[in-house]
A and B are shown apart, each in its own frame.
Chain A
Amino acid sequence: MLSTGSESPPLALLEMRSISKSFNGVRVLHDIDLSIFPGQIHALMGENGAGKSTLMKILSGAYIADSGTIRIDGCDIRNYGLNDAKRHGISVIYQELSLCANMSVVENIYLGREIRRCGVVNHKAMTEGAQVVLKRLGVTFDPHALVGTLSIADQQLVEIARAIHADTRILVMDEPTTPLSSKETESLFTLIRQLRDDGVAIIYISHRMAEIYALSDFVSVLRDGHYVGSLDRATLSAETLVRMMVGRDVSGFYAHERPSCSYEKPILRVRNLTDGSNIKDCSFDLYAGEILGIAGLVGSGRTELARLIAGVDAYSGGQIEIDGKVVVIRSPRDAGNAGIAYLTEDRKALGLFLDMSVHDNINVCVVGSDALFAGFVSRTAGTGRAEQAIQTLNIKASSDINVGALSGGNQQKVLLARLLEMKPRVLFLDEPTSGVDIGAKTEIYKIINALAASGVCVVMISSELPEIVGIADRVLVMCEGKLVTELGGHSGLDITPETIIAFATGSDRLTLANGDLVQ
C-alpha cells in the first residue's frame, strides 16, 4: 500500500481495518482501512460529511465501531474505547474547542490527568510542566490566565498544548488552523514538523490545499464514508485530490424543469454587507424565480451571511435593498416583514418547538393573523392551514402530534411549511437536506423547484456539492468570509464540483501562483 521501496515495510503504529459505523440505520463508514506510521504526517481529506470526523472519533474511543479491527503496535485491541486511546498515547484535537472557560490554562492542560502528590493536586509541578509545553509552542500568555479570557487562537493553542504531552504517540488534528492567523499557523507547522521528527505520528485533517502541500507526507481521501485511495508526496496533485474527493455522478434527481430566470430586475440587492468579524464586504443580487447556491467550506461564512440578511445577527456595515428600496433589518421580525425567511441549519436547536404539535409549529409565525378579538384565535383557520401544508408538502403525520416524534425529513418539511406561511419572496435555506433521508431529499428538491417556478427567490446553502451543482442556477462561492466568485449565470464559469472546491479551498490561487501546483 505504501510505496516505500523494496526494503521491508516499517511496522505500522496503528492499523484500522474494515471499520464500519452506522447511525440510526444510516451507514456513515464503509470498511475503512487506514495505516499510520510513526514519524509521518498523514493528511485526511474529504468533503463535509465524508466520514473523517466519525473515523477520528472512533480512533479516540468516543464512538465504538460497529465492525472492524483496530491494531496498535501489531496487536489487535478488542472493544477499543476511550481508555485504550488514552493508554496508547492517542490525543485528538477536535474542531470544536473543548476547554473549560472558567478554569486556568494550567488546569485545562492537565484536566483529567492532574499531577497528584499524596492525593492532593500538585499545582507547582503542573505549572512547571505546562510552562515547558507552552514554551515549546512559543506562546506568550500567562499559564494562570483563565481560558475564557484568551482569544480563540490562544485557546486553540491551549487545546494543542493539552494534546501534546510526553506520552503522545499519535496526534489527531481536525482543522486546527481555522482560528489561527498565518503567523500562528506557521509556528504551529514548525511544531508539527518537530513532533514528527520526534517520531510522533500525526493525522491531519484539513480542507486547505496549501496546508496539505506544506505538511503532509501522505494523503488519504474519504468520500461518502468510503476509502477512496491514498497519495504520497511524489504523486500528490490538486487535480487528482479534487477528483478523488468529488468523483460522483450528478444524476438527474434534482428535478430541474422550470423556465430559466431572466436576470432583469433584482428582487434583493445586498451591498458591502459586513458584520465586523466573520463577513467581509459581501455584495450580490438575487432575481425572481432563481435558485442561487452559496457554496463554501464549513466556517467560510455562508451561514453567517444568511443570518445577517435574515435579521438573526446584526450587520455593522453595508445595505440591503428589496425592490430597489433600502430596508433596515434589525430582527427576524423585520426580515419577515420585508419578505425574507430563513430556514436554519440546526432545525432542532434553532427552528422547531419539539414539544409542540405540528399544528402549532406551522402556525406559530402567523397565528397573530387568526386573532378574532382580545388575542383569541380561531382554531379553524390554523387547522385549515396545517392540513393544507401537511397535504401540499406530504408531511407524514397528523397535525396534533408533537414534532419531536417525527423523522428528520418530516420535521424539515414542518419547518419549511412554517416559513411558507409567511409568504416569503426571498427564502434562505441553510442545509435544507441535512439529516434527511433520500426520499425526503427528493421531495424537498421538488418543493424548492416549485417555489422558484412560482417566482420565489431561493438561496440554498449546502455542503453537499452534488446538490448545489444539481439544483442551483447560479452559485456564489465563499471563502474566509468573502464571496470569492460567481459560477453560472452570466459569469462565464461552469458550475462543477471541481471549480467549487478549487475556489472554496483557495487552491485556485495556488494554481495561479504556481503552475505545477507543487510547492
Chain B
Amino acid sequence: MTSPLQRKLVSDFTTPGVRNITGATAQDKMRQMMRVAGMLPVLLLLCVGFSLMSESFFSAQNFSIISQQASINVVLASGLTFVILTGGIDLSVGSILAVSAVVALLVSQVPGFAPLAIAAGLGVGLLLGLVNGALVAFGKLPAFIVTLGGLTAMRGIARLIGEDKTVFNPDLSFAYIGNDTLFGVPWLVVIAMVVVTLSWLILRRTVLGVQIYAVGGNPEAARLSGIKVWKVLLFVYALSGLLAGVGAIMTSARLMAANGLQMGQSYELDAIAAVILGGTRFTGGVGTIIGTLIGALIIATLSNGLILLGVSDIWQYIIKGVVIIGAVALDRFRQTGART
C-alpha cells in the first residue's frame, strides 16, 4: 500500500495532530443531515394534521391503502431520481407505462404465452427507455425534448397496439400482484420496497452510483476523469424505462386491464413532484432515493387525507400544487438560512 513516494510524502508532511476537523465541517455535516431528513417533518406534520381532523385516517388499514397508492409512484419516481441526478429529465414514463401495460395484457391473452406477459411488459419498457437514452447520449439531444416527444409518441403507440380499446383479461396470470399480499404485505408495496432498496444500493454502493452523481454534478469534470458519460446516460434512461415497465405490471395487475388512452396519464408529473419534494436538485448531482420515497409518501398521504376529509376533487388539485411549491420553497429557505 505504501510506496516509497508515499512514505517520503508522509515523512515530509506528517505532523502530530494533523487531522483537525474544522468548525465548518460540523456545520456541513448538519446541513447534510438536514438534506437527508429533508421533507420527513412535512410528512409527519401531514399525518398529525389529518389524524386530528379525520377519525379514519390513523389506522393500519388506511396506512396500508396509502402505501399501496404510493407504490406505483415510488417505482416511477425511483427511475426519475436516477435521471434527474444526471441533470436530465424523463417526461415519457407515463406513456411508456401505457405501452408496456397494453403489451403485457395482449401477451397474457395469447394461449400458452401467459407466463411471458411480465417479461414482455418489462422488456418493452426497457427498450423504450434505451431509445430515450440513445437519443440523449449519442444524439446529444436535450432530454426534455426527447422525452417530451416520447410522451406524445408513445401514448399514440399504446393506443395503436391496443386498437384504442381497453384490453381485458379476467384470468390475468399476474393479477395476484395487484390484489394479494406476501407475508401480509401487499405485493405492490413489496415491489416498491425492493425497487427502493436496489436503487439505494446502486446509488450508494456501486461504481455506477458514484459516476451518476459525478455526471450530474460536473459533466465536464466527469469526462476528464475518464468516466464514460454515454454509458451512464444510457443506463439511467434505460432504468427509468424499465421501472415504467414495472409500474405497468403493477397498474395492470390491479385493474386486470390496460387502456392505451388513460393508463399512466400524467403519472410523470406526480413522479417528478416526488423527486423534487425529496430534495433532489433539478440540475443534478444532489439527491437521495430515501428523499424520493418520502416525497412520494407525502403526495399519497395528501391525496388520501383530502379524500377522507371530503375535499372536492377540484380543491385537491389546487392544494397539492400549493403544497409542492410551498414545501420546496421552505426547503430552499431552510438551506440558505442554514448557510448564513
Q: Which residues of A contact B (CB under 8 A)?
A: 310, 312, 331-333, 336, 342, 344, 349-356, 360, 363-365, 367-368, 370-371, 374-377, 379, 384, 388, 390-394, 396-398, 400-402, 405, 418, 443, 446-447, 450-451, 453-454, 456
- For A418, the chain B residues whose CB sits under 8 A away are 225
From B1, B28, B213, B281, contact of A360 by CB (8 A): B213
From A312, A363, A394, A401, contact of B224 by CB (8 A): A312
- Asked if B141 CB lies within 8 Å of chain A CBs, one says no
- For A451, the chain B residues whose CB sits under 8 A away are 5
**Are A333 and B8 in touch, CB under 8 angstroms?**
no
Nearest CB of B to A106, in Å: 31
Given A331-B226, A336-B226, A355-B285; A401-B221 close (CB under 8 Å):
no
- For A364, the chain B residues whose CB sits under 8 A away are 210-211, 214, 222, 225, 227
Q: B121-156 CB contact bits vs A (8 Å, 1 = yes)?
A: 000000000000000000000000000000000000
A450 and B3 CA atoms in complex are apart in Å by 12
**Are A375 and B28 in touch, CB under 8 angstroms?**
no
- For B208, the chain A residues whose CB sits under 8 A away are 375
- Asked if B13 CB lies within 8 Å of chain A CBs, one says yes
**Are B24 and A454 in touch, CB under 8 angstroms?**
no
**Are B226 and A365 in touch, CB under 8 angstroms?**
yes
**Are A353 and B4 in touch, CB under 8 angstroms?**
no
From A312, A342, A453, contact of B8 by CB (8 A): A453
Instruction: Apart from A310-B224, A393-B9, A401-B28, list 17 A-B contacts with CB within 8 A.
Output: A349-B220, A352-B221, A354-B217, A355-B285, A356-B213, A363-B210, A367-B207, A374-B206, A379-B205, A388-B1, A391-B10, A392-B6, A393-B13, A401-B29, A402-B28, A450-B8, A450-B9
**Are B14 and A450 in touch, CB under 8 angstroms?**
no
- For B13, the chain A residues whose CB sits under 8 A away are 391-394, 443, 446
- For B5, the chain A residues whose CB sits under 8 A away are 450-451, 453-454, 456
**Are B207 and A353 in touch, CB under 8 angstroms?**
no
- For A333, the chain B residues whose CB sits under 8 A away are 226, 228
Nearest CB of B to A264, in Å: 21
- For B221, the chain A residues whose CB sits under 8 A away are 344, 349-353
**Are B25 and A353 in touch, CB under 8 angstroms?**
no
A268 and B318 CA atoms in complex are apart in Å by 66
Q: List 6 A-B contacts (CB under 8 A).
A: A351-B221, A363-B210, A370-B207, A388-B2, A396-B22, A450-B9
**Are A391 and B18 in touch, CB under 8 angstroms?**
yes
- Closest residue of A by beta carbon distance from B228: A333
Q: Which 4 A-B pairs have the closest CB atoms?
A: A454-B5, A333-B226, A353-B217, A394-B13
- For B214, the chain A residues whose CB sits under 8 A away are 353, 356, 360, 364
- For B6, the chain A residues whose CB sits under 8 A away are 388, 392
Nearest CB of B to A432, in Å: 15
From A352, A393, A397, contact of B25 by CB (8 A): A397
- For A405, the chain B residues whose CB sits under 8 A away are 24-25, 28
- For B24, the chain A residues whose CB sits under 8 A away are 405
**Are B19 and A398 in touch, CB under 8 angstroms?**
yes
- Closest residue of A by beta carbon distance from B21: A398
Nearest CB of A to B86, in Å: 13
**Are B225 and A350 in touch, CB under 8 angstroms?**
no
- For A393, the chain B residues whose CB sits under 8 A away are 9, 13
- Closest residue of A by beta carbon distance from B284: A355
- For A377, the chain B residues whose CB sits under 8 A away are 205-207, 210
- Closest residue of A by beta carbon distance from B11: A450
Nearest CB of B to A123, in Å: 33
Given A391-B14, A392-B6, A454-B5; A376-B205 close (CB under 8 Å):
yes
**Are B285 and A353 in touch, CB under 8 angstroms?**
yes
A196 and B99 CA atoms in complex are apart in Å by 72
- Asked if B116 CB lies within 8 Å of chain A CBs, one says no
- Asked if B286 CB lies within 8 Å of chain A CBs, one says yes
- Asked if B197 CB lies within 8 Å of chain A CBs, one says no
- Asked if B340 CB lies within 8 Å of chain A CBs, one says no
Given A376-B201, A454-B8; A350-B224 close (CB under 8 Å):
yes
- Asked if B218 CB lies within 8 Å of chain A CBs, one says yes
- Closest residue of B by beta carbon distance from A397: B25
- For B226, the chain A residues whose CB sits under 8 A away are 331-333, 336, 365
A431 and B96 CA atoms in complex are apart in Å by 49
- Asked if B312 CB lies within 8 Å of chain A CBs, one says no
**Are B213 and A353 in touch, CB under 8 angstroms?**
yes
- For A398, the chain B residues whose CB sits under 8 A away are 19, 21, 25
- Closest residue of A by beta carbon distance from B206: A375
- Closest residue of A by beta carbon distance from B286: A355
A397 and B22 CA atoms in complex are apart in Å by 7
From A331, A396, A402, A454, contact of B3 by CB (8 A): A454
Q: B193-234 CB contact bits vs A (8 Å, 1 = yes)?
A: 000000001000111101101100110111111111000000
- Asked if B171 CB lies within 8 Å of chain A CBs, one says no
A111 and B195 CA atoms in complex are apart in Å by 53
- For B225, the chain A residues whose CB sits under 8 A away are 332, 364-365, 418
- Asked if B12 CB lies within 8 Å of chain A CBs, one says yes
Nearest CB of A to B204, in Å: 9
A405 and B225 CA atoms in complex are apart in Å by 21
- Asked if B32 CB lies within 8 Å of chain A CBs, one says yes
- Closest residue of B by beta carbon distance from A456: B5
- For A363, the chain B residues whose CB sits under 8 A away are 210
A333 and B229 CA atoms in complex are apart in Å by 11
A277 and B222 CA atoms in complex are apart in Å by 26
A154 and B286 CA atoms in complex are apart in Å by 41
- For A360, the chain B residues whose CB sits under 8 A away are 210, 213-214
- Closest residue of B by beta carbon distance from A389: B6
- For B28, the chain A residues whose CB sits under 8 A away are 401-402, 405
A456 and B22 CA atoms in complex are apart in Å by 33
- For B29, the chain A residues whose CB sits under 8 A away are 400-401
- Asked if B336 CB lies within 8 Å of chain A CBs, one says no
- Asked if B20 CB lies within 8 Å of chain A CBs, one says yes
Which of A342, A360, A364, A398 has its CB near the most chain B CB atoms (within 10 A)? A364
Given A365-B225, A376-B205; A384-B1 close (CB under 8 Å):
yes
- For B25, the chain A residues whose CB sits under 8 A away are 397-398, 401, 405
Given A398-B19, A401-B25; A375-B285 close (CB under 8 Å):
no
